[in-house]
């Protein structure tokens, strides 16, 4: 693979960045009254305004040239064709097949159309959810299910949890939905403490049915259930998403309640699969289908639109510009809608687990920075916590503002207040404030009240927080991350960096248990690791708090 930084397109962008470095966003807006119209994009119920980034039409042209020489179009085609683009795991990447709703359109992996199997799983999910929601599927005592608890971690937790919060208004009022991921028993105990086991259904999401944290919580839930209802109750109170049907059945589940996954779906891209079961149980299949429809619309756009008019590509290229040419190391996701408050956590995993890589697909060290540090939170709360750094810190942090024109609750006045704050923040970050704009302020205070501005922002305005728009947003970020991975030459679909910690944790379990094997488990460990284990065991030996 050609060194990215050796490309003429890369050098052209470096030269352009140097020329643009001293040009302020204020000047760019003053020189072009139509800047918003030129640098915004409307697609269905979504408006993307990227005019407050430090870019010009020339910038986008040069970035598009870079995308061309990095073969974005062929990489995109390979993904949609089901080729094994996840080379380090020798797998296809076909989460797009999960939201294909066109009965006549095949999608293949290794030459085999996967759509019949995908549609069959969708039908099973719909049937099972309708049984639970109608009361045809009951718990062991004959009562209808009224509590659903999702037990998973990573992509089996963050995505479903974020979407469930977003679609809160679509949930049945008489079916509660909780999420458990942390092996700290405090979380599962807090959830179980408020539930009635006779009307509770657990959904265990683990592709292998061996994920350590997930199975620890699944066993805790099983112990709680059987203590109240007996061992025979498990089959009526557990469902699972797993490829390991035998292990799930051995755990006590009915095969009817075990739903498959495929190795061509990564965890952080799996919300569209049976991992969406808790959403279907809480919100109904029609709502889930609209989630798929929104993502499918973005897929069609991403697959067919030319690069210069392709929203995921444009946002990806702006991200590369910010990271590699304006040298920004972080990126904030700021939803100004309470229903989207957990969305930043899903994007954080999606982006950082995908592109947080230090080697290219060829195994060579990357020549540039890759994925930025993603963080964020609800916009209103964030204004009163870390926005100080965004406005006046020496490190520039690009931001995505996500706003919804229509609220699901409240009055027009409350929505007006929210929107005024969100849009004002993008203006403040762009404009800043000069000393000349502080008449009458004591000279000693002026430096403290000056804002440099020139802080890049992108605003994503959706009509409302619906299943369709949420599906569009998630797919938009998925494709953005994919394009950036192609530009940087990394594999966006593996996560080997997660594995080392898991391996070391497994080897440390005998040590922290404090048994006869503890000394052997600590042999050849560094002094810090051994010292921390010793300190833990000392407190542990004192007994419960």
What length is written for the chain?
545
CA 25 vs CA 9, 35, 94, 154, 432: distances in Å: 24, 11, 40, 38, 10
Whether the CB-CB separation of 346 and 323 falls below 8 Å is answered with no
Q: Which of 14, 309, 406, 502 is catalytic?
A: 502
Among the listed residues 91, 94, 87, the one whose alpha carbon sits nearest the alpha carbon of residue 359:
87
Residues sharing a CB contact under 8 Å with residue 85, sequence separation 6 or more, in sequence order = 75, 78, 79, 92, 93, 493
Q: Which of 22, 103, 384, 503 is catalytic?
A: 384
Q: Which of 147, 331, 346, 353 is catalytic?
A: 353
Count CB neighbours of 169 within 10 A. 13
H or E segment and range at residue 512:
helix 499-513
Q: What is the DSSP letter of 263?
A: T
Whether the CB-CB separation of 140 and 252 falls below 8 Å is answered with no
Q: SS3 of 504, please?
A: helix
Q: SS3 of 334, please?
A: strand
CA distance 253 to 241: 11
Active site residue 384: yes
Alpha carbon 448 to chain centroid, angstroms: 36
Active site residue 353: yes
Say if residue 305 is exposed, middle or buried (CB neighbours under 10 Å; 0-12, 13-18, 19+). middle
Alpha carbon 5 to chain centroid, angstroms: 29
CA distance 311 to 301: 8
CA distance 54 to 90: 39
CA distance 167 to 99: 18
Q: Which residues are catalytic?
A: 353, 384, 502
């Amino acid at each position: 693979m050609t060194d990215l930084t050796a490309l003429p397109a890369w050098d052209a962008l470096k030269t352009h960045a140097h020329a643009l470095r001293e040009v302020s966003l204020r000047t760019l807006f003053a020189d072009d009254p139509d800047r918003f119209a030129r640098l915004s994009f409307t697609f269905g119920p979504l408006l993307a305004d990227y005019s407050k980034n430090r870019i010009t039409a020339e910038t986008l042209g040069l970035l598009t040239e870079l995308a061309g020489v990095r073969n974005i179009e062929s990489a995109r085609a390979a993904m949609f064709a089901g080729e094994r683009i996840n080379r380090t795991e020798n797998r296809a990447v076909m989460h797009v097949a999960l939201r294909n709703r066109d009965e006549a359109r095949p999608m293949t992996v290794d030459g085999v159309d996967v759509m019949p199997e995908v549609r069959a799983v969708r039908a099973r999910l719909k049937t099972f959810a309708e049984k639970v929601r109608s009361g045809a599927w009951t718990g062991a005592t004959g009562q209808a299910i009224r509590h659903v608890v999702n037990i998973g971690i990573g992509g089996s937790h963050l995505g479903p949890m974020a979407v469930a919060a977003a679609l809160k208004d679509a949930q049945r009022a008489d079916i509660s939905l909780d999420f458990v991921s942390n092996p700290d028993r405090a979380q599962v105990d807090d959830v179980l403490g408020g539930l009635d086991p006779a009307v509770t259904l657990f959904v265990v999401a683990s592709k292998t049915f061996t994920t350590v944290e997930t199975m620890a919580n699944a066993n805790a839930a099983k112990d709680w259930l059987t203590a109240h209802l007996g061992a025979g109750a498990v089959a009526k109170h557990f469902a699972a998403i797993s490829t390991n049907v035998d292990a799930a059945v051995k755990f006590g589940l009915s095969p009817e309640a075990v739903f498959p996954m495929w190795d061509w779906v990564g965890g952080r891209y799996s919300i569209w699969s049976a991992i969406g079961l808790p959403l279907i149980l809480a919100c109904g299949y029609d709502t889930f289908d609209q989630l798929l429809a929104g993502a499918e619309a973005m897929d069609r756009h991403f697959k067919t639109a030319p690069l210069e008019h392709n929203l995921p590509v444009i946002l990806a290229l702006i991200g590369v510009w910010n990271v590699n040419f304006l040298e920004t190391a972080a990126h904030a996701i700021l939803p100004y809608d309470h229903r989207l408050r957990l969305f930043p956590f899903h994007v954080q995993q999606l982006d950082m687990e995908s592109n947080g890589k230090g080697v290219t697909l060829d195994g060579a060290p990357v020549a540039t920075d890759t994925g930025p540090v993603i963080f964020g939170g609800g916009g209103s709360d964030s204004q009163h916590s870390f926005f100080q750094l965004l406005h006046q810190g020496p490190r520039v942090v690009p931001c995505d503002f996500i706003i919804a024109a229509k609220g699901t609750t409240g009055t027009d006045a409350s929505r007006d207040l929210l929107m005024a704050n969100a849009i004002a923040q993008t203006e403040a970050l762009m404009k800043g404030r000069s000393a000349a704009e502080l008449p009458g302020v004591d000279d000693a205070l002026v430096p403290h009240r000056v804002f440099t501005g020139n802080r890049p922002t992108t605003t994503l305005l959706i009509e409302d927080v619906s299943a369709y728009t949420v599906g569009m947003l998630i797919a938009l970020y998925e494709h953005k991350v994919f394009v950036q991975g192609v530009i940087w030459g990394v594999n966006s679909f593996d996560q080997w960096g997660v594995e080392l910690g898991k391996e070391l944790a497994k080897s440390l379990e005998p040590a922290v248990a404090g048994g006869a094997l503890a000394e052997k488990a600590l042999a050849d460990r560094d002094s810090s690791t051994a010292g921390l284990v010793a300190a833990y065991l000392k407190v542990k030996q004192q007994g419960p708090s």
